Amino acid sequence: MFSRRTLKGRRIAVLAADGFEKVELTVPLRALRAAGAKVDVVSLRKGRIRGLNLNLPATRVRVDTTVDQAGADDYDGLLVPGGFINPDLLRQSAPARALVAEFVESGKPVVTLCHGPWVLASAGVLQGRTVTSWAGIRDDVVNAGATWLDQEVVREGNLTTSRGPQDMAAFVPAMLDAFAAGTLAETTSHPASRSDPQRSSPPDLVTAATRWSPKPSTVALAGVSLAALARRWSAQDGGAQT
């Protein structure tokens, strides 16, 4: 159980596309549902969208509604997970940008982490706000008018942001608090005086994951082996039932 906070009766939209970071969607999703919230995955297309574990394919998640069918009036809050590809696709979608702007301007809580603030930057809603994000996009959010802080979680007005999956233990309760608080009459508070500096080097976790990721041939061979095992188990089960 993630928290004792209750979100019973609250309806939360999770805006995501193919390439979302798996842990940044699935862990918050479980926490929201455990707290009693009704959660819809909103995306650019129908069907199931593909997640990633850093640079490797992960499981798919079912889409509940498309972005052109969703509106801020339908929900009590918005969550935008990150990943490298997911927010890059979303920020190029006019309906996705419009939906994000609608939520921010409504005063309803908007929660995002990692590369998710890219979408807020492209939606034009970061001017004068104070946020955090994955350090690699620090300059993008600063150039969009925000003050950037190198902290686990930053909550300013109706925006709650976090740096990434490394801060998930702090992010989840902050997310639940934000959605429990509900709509704020005033969405902008006093920003920090200036941004924290950009990091001096990229995180070892990401560079190591890329360096040691398996060759495509290895991944394909593993997939073929798993498929063969699945067929064998299926045949054995079928024979046992006859």
Residues annotated catalytic, as ranges: 115
**Largest Cα–Cα distance of the chain, in whole Å?**
74
Q: Residue 50 belongs to what H/E stretch?
A: strand 48-53
Cβ neighbors of 174 (< 8 A, separation 6 or more) are: 111, 153, 155, 160, 162
| Cβ atoms 176, 3 nearer than 8 A | yes
* Rg, the chain, Cα only: 19
Q: 136 by DSSP, 3-state: which?
A: helix
Q: CA-to-CA distance for 123 and 214, rounded, in angstroms?
A: 36
Dihedral over alpha carbons 71, 74, 80, 84 (to 10 degrees): -50
- Closest alpha carbon to 5 in 28, 36, 26, 41: 36
Dihedral over alpha carbons 73, 156, 170, 64 (to 10 degrees): 20
- Closest alpha carbon to 162 in 110, 238, 217, 123: 110
| Partners of residue 39 on adjacent β-strands | 12
